[in-house]
């Protein structure tokens, strides 16, 4: 075992055992164990160089540990929180992919790592707000820390939340580095061309009045991309049903010298030519719930290619693109790869959830189907038209006899095809011909 991981795990255990004897006025300590399993098989679209591509597959599993400490507020306004992260590979096979751990220069998946994750100073502004300085998680419309890998993405910078009155809250954040979920260090933001983005900043507001709520946000990746938009929601209880109506609009725009062909691999473009981005997306979403059953339908329409990813990271070991990152606020988004936000695309999503608690306590199922059609290339004029489909089915079970332990299994399927396309021509936002993925999550949480 890697010596850093070994000492990290020893440290986790030692601190946990010692802390169990401390009184609660010293703060809160929480241990999370995140077991992940990925099984992936997909086939790329044919090209001139490879007219009959074979399928590519891999499987990998890893165990992630988080030890999260929350301090009390000294003098009722100042504190410091922190986390230790550790990830170790359980097994892998097939073509290595940086889903849970990094791929090394020898082409094999890394064994493990241990590092400091969150570490920030927090300061309360009376009862009106709070600011954080340091390494922290982020959760907003256009930028979220993912929680479906072994450890979460973590960002370095400053953030603040401010409660202006009972209905209105504002928030902001400024980050200049991040720790991707599969890496052991904080890295600079870059485009997929590996050009430096100085910072990512965002500003947002939330308004709530009775059954109405609105959330608006603006995000800027310096000299690369800016995005903005809003979601409005209305909840209507009626005859034992709870109806939820959502509508929203989000826009992406090129924002400077870093926006060029190759900066986002899903852009259709000719290298060396000037390009731009004016992605406009609109959606309506209706959800209805009664007792243990919930269902919904959503429709999104795009004019121009709406770009999901705000930035990326390249491996220091081999300068290969490791991961891009963005958050998709549309209800027609897929969990797997493609975003369903292509130029001229219309996407329709159907959802169904059921809580089986009356039969098996802790058991839930959910399914989602998305159909996207009418998509065209961005920044290239052509007759190519794309269609894509996505389906996922998830079963989750919170074990009633083990507190804070839950297991989840997901099956994901994606497929796409093109009309009026010659061999090798495609829409880059539809990255694979077909794609199947199985995911298993085992989560355990213990609060001391």
419-432 per-position pLDDT tens digit: 999 998 999 999 89
Residue among 376, 367, 374, 326 at smallest CA distance from 349: 367
Give Cα separations from 400 to 152, 224, 357, 405, 407 (angstroms): 26, 48, 11, 8, 11
Tokens 């903005």 appear where? 228
Average pLDDT over residues 257-279: 92
Confidence band of 329 (pLDDT split at 50, 70, 90): very high
Domain locations along the chain: 3-447
Rg (CA), the chain: 23
Identify the helix (H) or strand (E) that includes residue 19: helix 3-19
Most confident of 166-170, 179-183, 322-326: 166-170
259's tokens? 């926006």
Residue 1: what pLDDT?
42
Identify the helix (H) or strand (E) that includes residue 4: helix 3-19
pLDDT at residue 26 tops 90 = no
The string of pLDDT tens digits covering residues 180-214 is 999 999 999 999 999 999 999 999 999 999 999 99
Write phi, then psi, for 104 (nearest 5 degrees): -85, 175
Average pLDDT over residues 202-228: 98
Write phi, then psi, for 9 (nearest 5 degrees): -65, -40
Confidence band of 9 (pLDDT split at 50, 70, 90): very low
Helix (H, G, I), strand (E, B) or coil at 370: strand
Q: Are 114 and 85 in contact (CB under 8 A)?
A: yes
Q: What CA–CA distance (Å, rounded) separates 291 from 81?
A: 39
pLDDT at residue 318 tops 80 = no
Q: What CA–CA distance (Å, rounded) separates 142 from 144?
A: 7
Residue 323: what pLDDT?
76
Write phi, then psi, for 222 (nearest 5 degrees): -50, 125
Identify the helix (H) or strand (E) that includes residue 6: helix 3-19
Residue 274: what pLDDT?
87
Residue 317: what pLDDT?
58
Which segments within 138-277 are labelled E, that is strand? Answer: 154-163, 168-179, 187-190, 196-197, 200-209, 212-221, 225-238, 241-254
- Burial code of 31-63, b = ≥16 C-beta within 10 A, e = fewer? bbebbbbbbbebbbbbeeeeeeeeeeebebbbb
145's tokens? 């820390």
pLDDT at residue 4 tops 80 = no
Sign of CA dihedral 95, 190, 375, 439: positive
Residue 8: what pLDDT?
45
Residue 358: what pLDDT?
96
| pTM of the predicted protein model | 0.92
pLDDT at residue 15 tops 60 = no
Query: What is the full DSSP assignment across 418-446?
Result: EES--TT---TTS-EEEEEEEEEEEEEEE
Identify the helix (H) or strand (E) that includes residue 397: strand 385-398
Bigger pLDDT: 135 or 10?
A: 135
Bigger pLDDT: 16 or 53?
A: 53
Phi-psi domain of 390 (left: phi exceeds 0; alpha: psi -120 through 50; beta: other): beta
Sign of CA dihedral 184, 185, 191, 195: negative
Most confident of 26-30, 170-174, 266-270, 380-384: 170-174
Q: What CA–CA distance (Å, rounded) separates 181 from 162?
A: 28
Q: Are 375 and 385 in contact (CB under 8 A)?
A: yes
Q: Quick one: what percent of the chain has pLDDT higher than 70?
A: 93
Confidence band of 6 (pLDDT split at 50, 70, 90): very low
- Lowest-confidence range among 48-57, 79-88, 217-226, 436-445? 48-57
Largest Cα span, the chain: 70
CATH of 3-447 among 2.60.120.10, 1.20.1050.10, 2.40.160.10, 3.40.190.10: 2.40.160.10
Q: For the chain, what is the mean pLDDT?
A: 92
Bigger pLDDT: 326 or 176?
A: 176
Confidence band of 314 (pLDDT split at 50, 70, 90): confident
The string of pLDDT tens digits covering residues 96-143 is 888 899 988 888 899 999 999 999 999 999 999 999 999 999 999 999
Helix (H, G, I), strand (E, B) or coil at 13: helix
Confidence band of 316 (pLDDT split at 50, 70, 90): low
Average pLDDT over residues 4-21: 47
């Amino acid at each position: 075992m890697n010596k850093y991981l070994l000492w990290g795990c020893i440290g986790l255990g030692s601190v946990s055992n010692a802390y169990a004897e401390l009184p609660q006025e010293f703060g809160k300590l929480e241990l999370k164990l995140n077991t992940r399993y990925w099984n992936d098989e997909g086939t790329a679209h044919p090209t001139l160089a490879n007219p009959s591509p074979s399928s590519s597959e891999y499987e990998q599993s890893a165990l992630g540990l988080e030890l999260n400490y929350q301090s009390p507020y000294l003098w009722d306004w100042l504190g410091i929180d922190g986390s230790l992260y550790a990830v170790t590979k359980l097994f892998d096979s097939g073509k290595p992919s940086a889903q849970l751990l990094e791929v090394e220069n020898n082409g094999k998946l890394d064994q493990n790592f241990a590092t400091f994750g969150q570490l920030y100073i927090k300061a309360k502004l009376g009862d009106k707000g709070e600011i954080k300085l340091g390494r922290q998680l982020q959760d907003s419309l256009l930028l979220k820390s993912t929680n479906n890998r072994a450890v979460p993405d973590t960002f370095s910078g400053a953030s603040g939340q401010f409660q202006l009155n009972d209905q209105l809250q504002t928030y902001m954040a400024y980050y200049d580095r991040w720790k991707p979920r599969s890496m052991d260090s904080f890295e600079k933001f870059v485009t997929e061309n590996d050009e430096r983005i100085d910072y990512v900043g965002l500003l947002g507001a939330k308004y709530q009045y009775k059954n109405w709520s609105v959330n608006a946000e603006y995000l800027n990746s310096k000299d690369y991309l800016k995005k903005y938009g809003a979601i409005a929601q209305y909840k209507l209880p009626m005859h034992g049903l709870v109806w939820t109506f959502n509508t929203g609009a989000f826009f992406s725009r090129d924002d400077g010298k870093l926006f060029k062909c190759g900066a986002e691999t899903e852009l259709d473009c000719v290298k060396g030519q000037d390009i731009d981005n004016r992605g406009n997306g609109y959606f309506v979403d209706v959800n209805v719930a009664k007792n243990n059953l919930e269902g919904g339908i959503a429709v999104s329409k795009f004019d121009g290619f709406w770009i999901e990813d705000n930035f990326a990271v390249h491996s220091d070991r081999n300068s290969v693109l490791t991961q891009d990152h963005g958050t998709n606020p549309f209800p027609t988004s897929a969990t797997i790869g493609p975003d369903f936000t292509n130029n001229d695309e219309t996407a329709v999503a159907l959802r169904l959830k059921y809580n089986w608690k009356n039969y098996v306590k802790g058991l839930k199922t959910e399914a989602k189907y998305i159909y996207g059609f009418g998509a065209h290339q961005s920044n290239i004029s052509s007759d190519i038209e794309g269609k894509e489909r996505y389906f996922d089915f998830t079963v989750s079970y919170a074990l009633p006899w083990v507190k804070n332990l839950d297991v989840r299994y997901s099956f994901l399927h994606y497929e796409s095809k093109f009309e009026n396309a010659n061999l090798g021509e495609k829409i880059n936002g539809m990255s694979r011909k077909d794609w199947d993925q199985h995911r298993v999550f085992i989560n355990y949480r213990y609060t001391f």
